[in-house]
Chains A and B, each alone.
Chain A
Amino acid sequence: MAEFTSAVYQNEFLPDGGTDVNAIVTVTCTNAGMAGSNGGNVGEIIIVDTSGSMGETNMEAAKNAAIVALDHIVDGTWFAVVAGNHQAYLAYPMARGGAGMVRMDANTRFQAAQAIRYFHADGGTAIGSWLNLTRALFQSVPGLTQKHAILLTDGENHNETPQQLDAAIRASIGQFQCDTRGIGIDWKVNEIRKVAQALLGTVDIIPHSSELPAAFATLMQRSMSRGVSAAELRVWVPQGAEILFVRQVSPTVEDLTARSTQVNALTTAYPTGAWTDESRDYHVSVRLPARGVGQEQLAARVQLAVAGQVVTQGLVKAKWSSDDTLTTRINPAVAHYTGQTELADAIQQGLAAKASGDDRTATVKLGRAVQLAKETGNDEATAKLRKVVDVTDEDAGTVRLKKSVDRADEMALDTASTKTTRIRG
């Protein structure tokens, strides 16, 4: 049985008249078990781009990767394979009405692999239609409690308007989780990141087709190890208080604030998707009505709820003090993740400015990113930044944009921008 624990890192002391409380809450899951082991049915859908731009090499690699992914789907799991170009096709199972998914066994695995071998690259790209079919397939099987898809694409969403894609994403929120991968350098990070963020998944670039099967295997293994289906983070704040923001800050930065639903008058819930044995950090910021010096109160109860039951709770406190040595201290965890959040923003804004030809802004933002990556000890970000900029002074954040940059390096920096490191020590 999965067990959850939580820990709170904060400076609870506020100065006279102080109102804002910041805390990092670490939620840890152990003994999650395999997907479906805690009851409920699990569904997996593999979505493969079969547009003409895939070409023979990428198409063959994608076929291999999809077949490898099938091998990692545990027997008994409901599954389907979707082939997508400017339309979406149900490649497997052959279903006319009724359930659009079948349970995995040796036979269906073999048949699905056969179907995948018939894929050939042709047509355009309409990712929204792929999501719409995927959603319909999940809905065709009643009683699925954990739904996950892997989406692979290689190009821009040419055959749909952005509004069509957005509508498909919106309709899929809360319906299934989706990890996304882009192969090559002709796809748009922003477009695919939007899908992954809304559907509680990850985004990454696969620069070379040879790496694709291993990437799919990892994704599917990870999904199969998520023994706790949809959980939600709940934040209670006292009457008269206001939630300034709620962010996941580790393993990646995701602003959850706008994804809230109300549990009751004082409690707000944010979806977290499924859990494996892992730790996630959340940054919760609350504004309270100020109280007198010496007063103590609870600023927030931060809880994780699984199937409506609270399984762990962290208490965020506020104590008003006239002692400056207490109130001016910034908690190291809060400082660390505030820096890492700013780092993600600086990288994304810097790359966006660079893409639009605004080299001045790009230089400033990426310079700040270099500085923050060093300050917060994010070595991966530092390494990736150094492939895009020449660093003159790391501490001051002085950089020059490189004359020629490998497009894949730039995309790798972009997709990894939200990855954070844990605080050291």
Chain B
Amino acid sequence: MTDDLTHRRPTMIRCQSCGEDVAGFEAYCEGCGAELTPIMLAPPEYEEADSPLEPTRAVSTPAPTRPRCRECGGAIDDDGYCEVCGTKAASDRDHYEEAPAPWVAGSCDRGIRHRRNEDALALSAAVVPGSRAVLVVCDGVSTSDDSDVASLAAARAARDLLTERQPQGIADPAGRDRALREALTEAVRVANESVIAVTAAETRNAASCTFAAAVVHEGRVICANVGDSRVYWISDHGSSQLLSRDDSVAQMHIELGLSREEAESSPHAHAITKWLGRDAPDLAPTLRSLEVTESGWLVVCSDGLWNYASEPEDLERVFAESLLRRTPGADPLILADTLVRWACTQGGRDNITVALARFGDPLDLSVLAG
């Protein structure tokens, strides 16, 4: 290219004003702008129609990043389907994730069988692990109208209130607990108002949803639930436990002496006895506190997950297997997503929501493998 240009280079003339060397066809000096007398004709702009152009910079602007398919990683076309496997792109409501801090994250997904995602998730967290976090999960009741809108409104209202109401400067642990319990009870009320606010006045199928929330405050966990969304502590050391208590027919049966397995497989097991919404019978949540003294996972989830592993020991095993299968360490977002996919492979009969907070050091996977 350079050689090619060299022998086509025009005769140069020197500007009398500033001494600049200028091509012989120029009528004005490029250096000082003085008027010159050209000694030759200007060359044509292009020698040939197809003479190569040499842009001084890339003319293409960088392509905006396109969403990727969650089945195969292919690009999503403008028509809303994957360009490789044809999978319908999840809408923002069908699948979304939140990760407010490296130790807190959650994933909320439509699952396989349901046409909409009526689950909702809302999280907040401070950067320091174990310091402060709010995890809220609401599961919209499918038989009611607009429960997808209602559950999201409820979860976000509760999250915002609980984030704002984290106790400041209360030294007394009992006083802190009391403040947090009051905040959670208040959060249920605010969430309930949010559900009613999006309920159409004339509807006979008032929007409704469950409520499960956990607040982390300096190593302490306070949780509350209404309905059958759950809070678990999944221990790294085999002492996992269910912190919430379902408001469901199955739970009533358990309390009457049936085994969990029997109770949860009975026909009306999933009927809930409490919920949020215009026709809510009772807004009093079940409250529970836990002092975290070991490493593990705080889990808030909808029945889309626990349907496939209800006992804390079973869920603990699923956690261990998921952690071994995916990347090492303990990234809560990767784990939440792995658990959602696991529930999908189990049938994905319901919407699936998993919110996680990691306590303690990153996992030593060799312990799990042993």
Contacts and interface: CB of A to CB of B under 8 A. Distances in A.
Nearest to A301: B79
Chain A contact residues: helix, strand, loop or mixed: loop
A293 B81 contact: no
A293 B77 CA distance: 24
B87 interface: yes
A241 B102 CA distance: 40
Contact of B84 (A266, A295, A313): A266
B112 A238 contact: no
Interface string A402-414: 0000000000000
Interface string B56-81: 00000000000000001000010101
Given A294-B114, A295-B112, A315-B81, A238 B86 contact: yes
Interface in A234-280: 237-241, 266
A93 B139 CA distance: 81
B113 to A, nearest CB: 4
A299 B348 contact: no
A294 B86 contact: no
Contacts of A239: 72, 84-85
A297 B88 contact: yes
Contacts of A299: 86
Interface in A303-335: 313, 315
Interface in B337-352: 347-348
A301 B83 CA distance: 10
A83 to B, nearest CB: 41
B82 interface: yes
B85 A238 contact: yes
A237 B82 CA distance: 11
Interface in B198-216: none
Contacts of B82: 238, 298
Given A301-B79, A313-B79, A296 B88 contact: yes
Interface string B89-124: 000000000000000000000011111000000000
B112 A241 contact: no
A298 B81 CA distance: 7
B86 A292 contact: no
Nearest to B345: A292
Main secondary structure on chain B at its contact with chain A? loop
Contacts of A266: 83-84
Contacts of B115: 294
A301 B86 CA distance: 9
Contacts of A240: 85
Interface residues of A, number: 18
B85 A292 contact: no
A316 B83 CA distance: 14
Contact of A297 (B83, B87, B112): B87
Interface string B177-214: 00000000000000000000000000000000000000
> For chain B, which range describes its interface: under 10, 10 to 19, 20 to 34, or 35 or more residues?
10 to 19
Interface in B141-159: none
Contacts of B112: 292-295
Nearest to B79: A315
A292 B79 contact: no
A293 B79 CA distance: 23
A419 B104 CA distance: 66
A105 B84 CA distance: 52
A291 to B, nearest CB: 9
A295 B111 CA distance: 9
Given A239-B72, A292-B348, A297 B85 contact: yes
A298 B86 contact: yes
Given A292-B112, A294-B112, A295-B112, A241 B86 contact: yes
A37 to B, nearest CB: 25
B348 A294 contact: yes
Contacts of A313: 79
A65 to B, nearest CB: 44
A294 B88 CA distance: 12
Best-surrounded residue of B77, B84, B86, B113 (most CB of chain A within 10 A):
B86
A238 B84 contact: yes
A298 B88 contact: yes
Given A239-B72, A301-B79, A293 B113 contact: yes
A293 B72 CA distance: 19
Contacts of A296: 88
Q: Quick one: which of A238, A288, A293, A313 has the most chain B CB within 10 A?
A: A238
Contacts of A315: 79, 81
B78 to A, nearest CB: 10
Interface centre among B72, B112, B347 (most CB of A within 10 A): B112
A238 B82 CA distance: 8
A297 B114 contact: no
A184 to B, nearest CB: 52
A313 B81 CA distance: 13
A7 to B, nearest CB: 15
A292 B5 CA distance: 64
Contacts of A295: 112
A288 B79 CA distance: 19
Contacts of B84: 238-239, 266
A67 to B, nearest CB: 42
A240 B79 CA distance: 20
Nearest to A265: B84
3 residue pairs, one from A and one from B, having the closest CB atoms: A238-B86, A298-B86, A298-B81
Interface of A: 237-241, 266, 288, 292-299, 301, 313, 315
Interface of B: 72, 77, 79, 81-88, 111-115, 347-348
6 contacts: A292-B112, A292-B347, A294-B115, A296-B88, A297-B85, A315-B81
Given A238-B86, A292-B348, A295-B112, 8 more contacts: A237-B86, A241-B86, A292-B113, A293-B112, A294-B348, A297-B85, A297-B88, A298-B86
